[in-house]
Structures are given as structure tokens and as C-alpha cells.
Structure 1
Amino acid sequence: MNQNDQNTPGVRPMRRIMIAVDDSNASRQALRFAARIASPQAEVRIVCVADQPGAWIAGGAFTAGDAWITDTIATARKSLHAEAELTLEQALAAFKGRCAAVEGLVVGQGGESGAVVQALVAAARDWRADLLVVGARHRGRVKRWVDGSVSGALAVAAPCPLLVVPDEYATHESRAELGLARVVLATDGSEPSVHAIGAAMRLLSPPTILRAVYVVDRSGVAADPVPGSALQEAMSAQGRKALAAAVGQLAPSGCTTETQLVATALIRDDVAHAVLRDAQAWDADLVVLGTHGRRGVARWLLGSVAQRAVEVTHLPLLLVGPAQA
């Protein structure tokens, strides 16, 4: 029996799960992980964004009014739509007989990553999804800057909790039928962390083992006028307080919970790497992070632990914004 049959008292489970797919290995890993954690009572909607015909349709000596161009574009659109439907057919097979209801849907006419993000955000919002699941392919910095990152953009824009599964993640065969066995929940004591833990509890039940972690960020200690040891002790005290609050919030789940203070290196390190290093060493199945939902200049200046985590993770991430619990 899937552990998600047993719900935490007073906590509404995640029953409407939307999974975005394409023909990549990342999508296949996302499907496998979603099938592993979905309750038999869940409703699953698998969506595929059909691309537009390539950029060659713009410019040149011909216009969209030319008959042969119009016919060629129509043929290309049909072909791309057929490819999307085939992708959906293959994806639906992963959930056959596993959930209360499973359906597939071709959405939008994507093309560029920004349009794909908009189509997925609209689809998740219109369907009132409890959870949006996507795969992630890691790219070099230049390519990511030019092409954008669908999963990274969704970390800010998704209207519901976002589960990101990297293409290199492989489910432990021994845990394939166990749901979530080991989960790391990062907290900094902030409201977004409280929201993230609240959302995670909608997926959790015994015998899941939980590990709440607080990162003592030592990267700025050297430049601080307060002596390093005193400042680190103050941060550690704040961390212990945040961890105690997290344990109290998680208590109704009935799951075994442990806590850990984690420190960054003094140089060339960040909170995202520290959380993920600890999670990998602990053999976690999932890492939970709250996001502040910052956009534009504020996010650029202040940085985003969640988006940095998307870029470098080798483990599935559950990202939860302030209003998504």
C-alpha cells in the first residue's frame, strides 16, 4: 500500500497532480518519481506543450500570406501536435491503474521557453493543481542564459508547489514502492519556510523519516565587524530556534524527525550547495525549500536559494512559494 493512503490528520493531501512532459530523459525521471509518490486517490493530469514550427517561418522573401507557406506551417503544426500526443500516450502508461483518474492534454503552442512557462502556469492555475511536476536538464551557464530555464522560471511563477526532478536522478529500486522514505526540509525560521513545511506535510506520512536542516551561512563572517565565533554562535542559536519550531510543526505527521545545523564553507560556498550536500550525504529522496517569490531586480540583487538549487541539484526538489502551501 502507498504510504500516502495515510494522511496527516487535519492536513489536506495533494490530490490533483499535474506533470509536464516532453520526450526527454528528465521527463521520464519526473514521471517515475511522480508515480512513486502519488496517492491511489490522486487525479493526475499529464500535459505536453506543443512547439510552434521553427523560427524559419519569420522573415525572408515570403510572408504568411503565401499559400505554400500557410500550408507548410499547418502541416508542421499537425506534425508537432501528433508528436506531443505520442509523448502523452507513452507517459500515461506510467500511471495506468495507479491512480483514481489519469488524463493527458496537449496545451498551448510553446516554442520559446518563456511561452512554455506561461502555458504551464496557465494550465496548472486553470486546473487548480495541488502540485506541478517537471523534469530539469542541467545546462552550461551560457546556454541557460540564452535559452532560459523552464524549471528555474517556474520556481518563481508556478501557482502551486513545484516538484523538480533532475534528469540524472534515479529512484532507488528498493524504495520504488515506498513513496517518500527520507525527506530533508530546509528551514531558516521564516514565513516561506513555514509554508514549505506545511505543503510538504500534504505528501508525508509514516514511515517517512524527516530531517530538518538549518544552514549557518559563514560566507560573510570574515567581513563582519563582530568576531567570527560570536557571530557564528548567534546564527547557530537562531538556527536551533528555527529547527525546534520546525519539529513542532512536523509533529502531527507522526514521522520520525531529526534536526541538523549545517555550515557553509567560509569561501566559495552558498546555502543551496550546503543543503544539497547534506541531503545527498544523508541519502534523501526529496529536498523541500521555501521560496520568497521575488521577481525582477529584487531577486537579482538578493539572490534565490531555490533557483540556485534548481541549477545544481541531483535530487528532487519541492519548491513552495509564500501563498502555495
Structure 2
Amino acid sequence: MSEAARKVVVGSDGSALAEGVLDPLQTLLGSEEGARVYLLRTIAADAPEEQIEEARAALEQAARRHAAPRCEFEAHVRRGDAAEEILRFSQEVEADLIAMSSHGRRGVERFVRGSVAERVLRHAERPVLLLNPFALASWEGGVARVIVPLDGSERAEAILPLAQDFARRLSAELRVLHVSEPNDAPHRGIHRARIEATHAGLDAEGQPATLALREGGPAEAILDEVEQSEGGVLLAMTTHGLSGLERWAYGSVAEHVLRRCPAPLLVLRQR
């Protein structure tokens, strides 16, 4: 995956909410030379050809409404399962990012096991940008801060290059967040030292970042950091474990944050 998102696949169901994702992408990609957005609509395998043409025409109209000088839009319609086609198409075009809308007011609280968005998040091999109605409204006011929760592991840091890229494009503050748990005293010093070294490395790369150190439950602290931030926020984080989101059912930090966060979410699944 490239450190910069230049090729983006947008999963669309034809709704106004799904099209709303294109406005944030204009902000992110509008000045990026060679940027390309693929609008992908999936319909039933047995749908008549007429329905395919109608879906393609609707996507092409959406593309024209959101045209940007340096960003090209392509409309694609496929037959089959929506999640499978989004994942397959993203691999075919070597996308840097998948962008989707969710219908919950906060985070992905209305996700159910087997839904399109949940399945894409579970299996995607590239980052996913997820926006719900609240997040879309927040983005319209401008994103002032990109928050990256780090736990001292190399896996958690995998999202940093893309978070840096988003912060640069949005002219937003990059904020590294580390939460020390009360029962993690034996490793607290090691984790904090790595976080501080990572933070110093960002400064050395010419992209200053702020550092927030908190104590308590990780999920609650992350959500509190989002809620207390002034201006719009983008939360960028990884999911851990060989099975990605399969650990959500066991109450992981990612589950609590992703289901309750009102901000736009940039998620990278780590194997």
C-alpha cells in the first residue's frame, strides 16, 4: 500500500448517504495529481441488464457532480455480493483506500455480523475510511485534528504513514495518543519510551505532532480524546490480531471505539 491515498474505491448502494462520502474525498484528493476515484455499485446476479445501465447512469451523474480538476472519477457496476466485489475490485485496481458510509449515528453501532461494511472491514487488505451521517456533518466543518492511538506495538504504528498523509492534506494537527492501563505497570515504561521515540521521529521527519498521554481504560480514553477535541476530528487506528475484526466479539478496544466513535474513522486491519 502506498503511503499516499491516490486510488480510492467507494462502495455505493445508490443512496444519498453513500454519495455523501464523495465530498470528503474531494477535500482529500482534489489537489492530488493523478488521483482516481472508482465508484462501485453491486447489484444482484440475476438483475436485468436495464438495471445495470440505470445504476451506471446514476453513478456517472454522481461523478459529474463531484468532479475535481486533478481527480478522475470512474463508474463501475458489477453483479454479485457487495462486500466480495468491493474487496475483489480493490485488489484488481490496487486501491490505496476503500471509502464507505455507515448508517449508524455514532460509529458502526448498527453494524450486524455479515453486513457489507462489517465484512469489508473484517477482510480488507487496505485501509478503510468509514463515515456515518454525524461524521459527514463534522467533516463539512473542517477536520482540525487527526488522532492516532498507539499502544507501543509495531502493528499499531502501521497506520501512521497514511494518517500523516491525511493530516498534511487536511492541514490538520497530527496527535499521537497513548493510554496506559492501570494493570500494565510492568510494561508502562517500555511502551511509553517507544511512543515518545515515535513522536520524536515525526518531528524529525518535518511533520510536527502533539503527544497526549492518558491513563485508564483505552477505549474510554480514546473516545474521550475525540469528544474533547475542538473542531472536526479524524480517528486513525489499526485492529490487532491474525483475524482482524473477529476479536470484536470479545470486547476488544477496537470494537468499543469503532462502535461508539462519532468521528470519521480510518481503519487498517493488521494480520
TM-score with structure 1 setting the length? 0.69
Please name the residue that 2:168 is paired with: 205
Seq. identity, %: 22
- Would the alpha carbon gap of residues 171 and 98 (structure 1) be closer, same or farther in structure 2, given more than 3 Å must change? farther
Q: Higher strand proportion, which one? A: 2
| Mapped pair 1:309 → 2:261 | no
- The 5 Å alignment of 1:1-325 reads 12-38=3-29, 39-52=31-44, 76-109=47-80, 115-138=81-104, 144-145=111-112, 148-169=114-135, 170-173=137-140, 175=142, 181-205=144-168, 207-218=171-182, 221=183, 233-234=185-186, 236-264=188-216, 271-283=218-230, 284-295=232-243, 299=247, 303-322=251-270
Please name the residue that 1:268 is paired with: none
- Would the alpha carbon gap of residues 137 and 272 (structure 1) be closer, same or farther in structure 2, given more than 3 Å must change? farther
Q: Which has the larger radius of gyration?
A: 1
CA distance in 1, matches of 2:122, 2:237: 12
Deviation at 1:258, TM superposition (A): 1.1
CA distance in 1, matches of 2:93, 2:172: 29
How many residue pairs get aligned? The number is 265
Deviation at 1:302, TM superposition (A): 5.3
- Would the alpha carbon gap of residues 198 and 82 (structure 1) be closer, same or farther in structure 2, given more than 3 Å must change? same
Deviation at 1:167, TM superposition (A): 2.2
User: Structure 1: which 5+ runs fail to align?
Assistant: 1-10, 54-72, 110-114, 222-230, 266-270
TM-score with structure 2 setting the length? 0.81
RMSD: 3.2
CA distance in 2, matches of 1:150, 1:143: 12
User: Structure 2: which 5+ runs fail to align?
Assistant: none
- The one-letter code sitting in structure 1 at the alignment partner of 2:24 is F
Tell me, what secondary structure is at the counterpart of 1:50?
Answer: strand
